[in-house]
Structure formats: C-alpha cells, structure tokens
Amino acid sequence: MEENLYFAYGSNLDLEQMAQRCPDAEIVGPVRLENYELRFRGSGFATVAPKKGSTVHGLVWKLTPNCEQSLDRYEGYPRHYTKETVTVKDAAGAELPVMVYIMAEPYCRQPALPSPYYYRVIQRGFEANGLPVESLQAAWDRTVDEAGSTSQSERLSETEGRSGNSKQRRRLCKKEDHQNRDHKGQDPNEQENLFAGADFCRLADQRGRGDAYRRNQ
C-alpha cells in the first residue's frame, strides 16, 4: 500500500482529532519547516507561508491513501487548501520531503484570529508532541497586530485556563457552529469545507456526547 508523509502544523497535531479523522495514520515524529511562518488566515484557520528566517514546528504523519482522502475532505481540498511538497528537518537535521496543506487564494490573504476552541486544539497538539508553544503564541500575536482586533484576544483571555469546562466548551461550539453555517452565504459544500468551525465542535461533542455528534453530521 502506497503511503505518504504529511506535515501537520495546526489542529492535526492533536492526537485525538487525528485518531478520529485518520485512525490508520502513524506518527513519524516532530520536525521543523525552515523559512516558513505559521499564520492564521481566512476565518481564523492555520496556514503556513514562506518567510525567510522563520520556522514552523510540526509533526510528520504517515498516511494511507484512505487517510489522505479523509484529510482532503476535512481540509476542503482543493478549494480551501492546496497541497504542496516541502522539505522538513527532524531533530538530527535529516531532511524529509513531505506533503503539506497550504491555504488557497484568496483566503490566505486575510488575517483572522482563531476561535479559542480551535486555538486550544492546536495548543494541545503542541504540548502533546513536545513542540514549543511560544511559537504558536507568537503566531497569535502577529495576527492580532495584522488584523488590528482586540475582541477575540479578550475572548481568549476570558476562557483562559477553562478548556476543561465541558459546558462552556459546548456553548462556545454551538455559537461558532451557527456563525460558520452562515459564513458569507456560500453554498453548502463550501460552508462545510471552508472555515468549518463546526468540525471542531463535533469533535468536542464526540468525546462525551455521541448523540450530539451524530445530529451535527
């Protein structure tokens, strides 16, 4: 069976999420992508872009063809994210050519802060895989400067340290689900694949609320 190496830098760093999306995927290990920068764009989703002197930290997964097809659907390929091949380095400096999803035009041009829930999914992945969380915070800070917004920063601060509060998480997810369903009045397929914040809410519900998860499908 042909397998592909995939570089995750955003929510697919989260082990629980990947177990649900791609149960046959295997971890290869932490790596770094040099001369690229982690950014939040579109409706607040992660992407990477060339930036000399910068580094993006992430994780390489080994994907089966079925795993990759599943990720294509979740990532909204090819409309929302495109695929490119980049070279990453492991801790020993060994180079690996890997596939990476990069946000497509025109969405990649618009800085936008991530929701607190989405940010914490990524943060959980950083922590679980021993990646430097300060680089994730730096991406947030850059986006605040670029977007000139404080409302979502305040929102993140208000929920700081409460990620274990399931009732609060569900309330936040319901609100974000509604907001994303109405996003720009796009067609249903685009709403599902582009900026599908409800995807992360479904993941939260699935952990203890299987019935709620099925209703959202």
> What would the pLDDT profile of 68-88 be if each residue is shown by its tens digit?
999 999 999 999 999 999 999
Beta carbons of 39 and 143 less than 8 angstroms apart:
yes
Distance of CA 146 to the CA centre of its chain: 19
Q: Which two tokens stand for residue 21?
A: 């999306």
Q: Which helix (H) or strand (E) holds 131?
A: none
Confidence of residue 204 (pLDDT cuts 50, 70, 90): very low
Tell me the pLDDT band of 3, cut-offs 50, 70 and 90: confident
Q: Compute the average pLDDT of residues 183-195.
A: 36
- In residues, how long is the chain? 217
**What are phi and psi for residue 157, nearest 5 degrees?**
-65, -40
CA distances from 121 to 9, 18, 151, 163, 177 (A): 11, 11, 20, 9, 16
Residue type, 203: L
Average pLDDT over residues 26-53: 98
What is the C-alpha to C-alpha distance for residues 141 and 113, in angstroms, rounded to an integer?
Answer: 9
User: pLDDT tens digit string along 125-181?
Assistant: 999 999 999 999 999 999 999 988 545 545 455 445 434 444 444 444 444 444 443
Helix (H, G, I), strand (E, B) or coil at 169: helix
Query: For residues 217 and 212, what is the distance between their CA atoms, to the nearest angstrom?
Result: 9
pTM of the entire predicted model: 0.73
- Which amino acid, one-letter code, is at 24? D
Cα separation, 141 vs 162, in Å, equals 20
Task: Give the fold, CATH level 3, of 4-210.
Answer: Hypothetical upf0131 protein ytfp (3.10.490)
Tokens of 61: 């997964």
Percent of the chain with pLDDT over 90: 66
Amino acid occupying residue 129: N
Confidence of residue 188 (pLDDT cuts 50, 70, 90): very low
Check if the beta carbon of residue 102 is closer than 8 Å to that of residue 126: no
Token reading at 4: 């592909």
Domain residue ranges of the chain, discontinuous segments joined by +: 4-210
Helix (H, G, I), strand (E, B) or coil at 141: helix
Contact 132, 57 (CB under 8 A): yes
